[in-house]
Chain A
Amino acid sequence: MIEVRNLTKKFEIVTAVDNISFEIAESEIFGFLGPNGAGKTTTIRMLSTLISPTSGKIIVDGKDPQKDGGYIRSIVGLLTETPGMYEKISGYDNLDYYSSFYNVSDKKRKDNIKKYLKMFDLWDRKDDLAGTYSKGMKQKLALARALIHEPRILFLDEPTAGLDPESAHMVRNFIENLQKEKTTVFLCTHNLEEASSLSDRVCIIKKKIIKIASLTELQNDKKSKKVEIVFKDNARKYMKILRQIKEITDIEAQDNKINISLKNAEIINPVVIKSLVDSGAEILYFNEIKASLEEIYLDLIRKEEK
């Protein structure tokens, strides 16, 4: 659905995006992660035809943004990082205004306005001026605006920022459901838990791409694995045995549990289990603790900074 090849964007002497390439399939949720100033917003602006690349190529739904900007804008929805609304007109009129620019019948447009205002619990306030809405309500209205023409590609920049936990949960469920409707979602967020629960793949960027992979692939890529061992009795007495295994890089014990970090887990795990059993340990559980996206992200960003 989206193809990006060697994309670079420079603003005078500042390189905002440096030679990035990726592909996004139809109905994929693509998490786009990176620190502030990493080039996320610039990439979204290039993909949604708002700005042109300095070099490189973009293809969106088989079209070139330079030649078919109007078509691409008609099939994408954009939620910006700081979404603004016309504060002196009602929430309903805001949606009515933006949706008028798309080639959608009046009936469909009105039905969609009603559908999304109801979905985001804004229907009762539809006639109130948007300026009177809370931050969370404005965020929901902006999300409704991005969806109002039922785009095939949705660019979401921090979609749950400013939302209360209940609304954020509802928005996340909604994004998840978009996949069923074959909508491709490009998700920029600093909320890594959200990114890991929603994204099929994530791209970690800091001007250049650091990594693109699914969460499982990222977890499997990690050289050092964490394992939790639960004993029948106090765990501290087994620390000495574990310290003798040089591939174990870190050990933490608490009550009847020991957490270890180790390299070459597939080879060393049997060694660990055998050593413990030989020393008379009664092991209740032996589990791999999967690294969170946050741990992986911080690890990759720190490595990049070095």
Chain B
Amino acid sequence: MKNAAIIFKKEIKEVIKNKNIWMPILIITVIFSIGMPLAITIGSNAILKDSDTINFINKVFGYTDDPMRVLIGFTIKQFLILLLMIPAMVPSLIAPASIIMEKESNTLEPLLATPIKTSELMLGKSLTALVPAFAISTINFILLAAVVDITSYIKLGFVPLPTIEWAVVAFVLSPIISFIITIISIIISSKSTDIRSAQGIGSVIIIPIYAIIGFQIAGFFLMNIVYLLLGCLVLILICPLLLKLCAKIFDRENVLTKWKMK
């Protein structure tokens, strides 16, 4: 564990210094966790004056006496799913470079020649992507709750968050997604021949998450607690399989001798 912590400490400093990682995350945070929820909550009265919106709410949720609450609830569901792009995106920006960068800069061989264990190396590299992913995602989900609650309370007199759905997405689904994307990214990084291809493939693996976001926004389904728990269960079952695959692929010898032969 000590060696994993050493790797994490060194790598996280480099991640913190890297603006290319922080800028897109900051933009997404400002738009999706602050700007848009704020705009929708503040503008809810105006939105509900639109007859198409009322018709849509009645059609989807059935007739309601309180379309405002329904609209806010619907908006929260949309943003919860939308914010899942953050736990997916953060590791996909950090982890694909983890091993391939070491290979390209010829630092991997001296690192592997130290007494470090392969599992410690993998853990250190994984934490470098996972810790910021979890921290940033949590900040975003809390920001979303704060923005929605404050504006709803001031304007409408009620506090819609937290809900169980919010808690499951923020503290169960989001870390699982980060973990899966991190492990897949490290596998890609171990097998890649150069950093561009690693980052290219790394950006492709988050497409399924974007697809789920897109399907809900397009109205194909609407998240509820049952869907969420089922989704978490499936993803949790995938995790040990991915870990096994990662351990098999990240073999010192393969990583050192095979990547240049491709």
Residues of A that sit less than 8 Å from B by CB = 11, 45, 48-52, 70-71, 73-74, 76, 78, 80, 82-89, 93, 97-98, 100-103, 142, 145-146
The distance in angstroms between the C-alpha atoms of A98 and B102, with both chains bound, is 13
Q: Which of A48, A84, A100, A146 contacts B107 (CB 8 A)?
A: A84
Q: Which of A45, A70, A97 contacts B117 (CB 8 A)?
A: A70
Residues of B that sit less than 8 Å from A by CB = 3, 6, 10, 13-14, 17, 105-107, 109-117, 252-253, 256-257, 261
Q: Which residue of A lies closest to B118 (CB)?
A: A69
A76 touches B113 (CB 8 A): yes
A50 touches B117 (CB 8 A): no
A86 touches B257 (CB 8 A): no
A51 touches B115 (CB 8 A): no
The distance in angstroms between the C-alpha atoms of A74 and B115, with both chains bound, is 5
B107 touches A85 (CB 8 A): yes
Q: Which of A50, A85, A88, A97 contacts B112 (CB 8 A)?
A: A50
The distance in angstroms between the C-alpha atoms of A71 and B101, with both chains bound, is 27
A102 touches B253 (CB 8 A): no
A145 touches B110 (CB 8 A): yes
> What is the CB-to-nearest-CB distance from B21 to chain A, in angstroms, rounded to a whole number?
13
Q: Which residue of B lies closest to A45 (CB)?
A: B256
Q: Which residue of B lies closest to A103 (CB)?
A: B115
The distance in angstroms between the C-alpha atoms of A103 and B114, with both chains bound, is 11
The distance in angstroms between the C-alpha atoms of A85 and B105, with both chains bound, is 7
A51 touches B256 (CB 8 A): yes
A-B contact pairs, 23 of them (CB 8 A): A50-B109, A51-B253, A51-B256, A51-B257, A70-B117, A78-B110, A78-B113, A80-B106, A80-B109, A80-B110, A82-B106, A83-B110, A84-B106, A84-B107, A84-B110, A85-B105, A85-B107, A86-B10, A98-B110, A100-B6, A101-B114, A101-B115, A102-B115
The distance in angstroms between the C-alpha atoms of A18 and B257, with both chains bound, is 18
Q: Which of A50, A82, A85 contacts B252 (CB 8 A)?
A: A50
The distance in angstroms between the C-alpha atoms of A204 and B3, with both chains bound, is 38
